[in-house]
Amino acid sequence: MTSITSVEVIEDASVELPNIKAHALAKSGHLAVGAFESQGVKTFAVVHHDQPKGLRIHLVGEEFDQWIVGCGDPESVLMSLKRDSTGSYQ
């Protein structure tokens, strides 16, 4: 939790994925799982077409700069993360 600098809800997680894949399983319009990199930003993503909404989690001091995670109710997950955090992010 101390590595999280910010978390934001995104309406279509698959649109937010970088175009350059490093080590990932991606099928356009269906799913994406794995590591992506573009313009020096390393992203780990887990996105499925049945859950287009998701979260972008910005990190510092970790292997990945951000995670993009699809989920059915990202607003509730965001609130839960804020409740469990040490107040280190907005």
Query: In this structure, what token pair is assigned to residue 55?
Result: 């979260």
Confidence of residue 6 (pLDDT cuts 50, 70, 90): very high
Q: Which two tokens stand for residue 18?
A: 């970088």
Residue 4, beta-bridge partner list = 59
- Confidence (pLDDT) at 2: 86
Using alpha carbons only, give the angle 37, 31, 8 rounded to the nearest 5 degrees: 60
Please name the residue that has the structure tokens 């001091």: 61
Amino acid at 84: D
pLDDT tens for 54-87 read: 999 999 999 999 999 999 999 999 998 887 765 5
Strands 54-59 and 21-27: unpaired
**What confidence tier does 5 reach under pLDDT thresholds 50, 70, 90?**
very high
Q: Over the stretch 17-62, which tens digit does the pLDDT of each residue have?
A: 766 666 656 566 667 788 888 888 999 988 887 778 999 999 999 9
The pLDDT of residue 89 is above 80: no
Identify the pLDDT of residue 61.
95
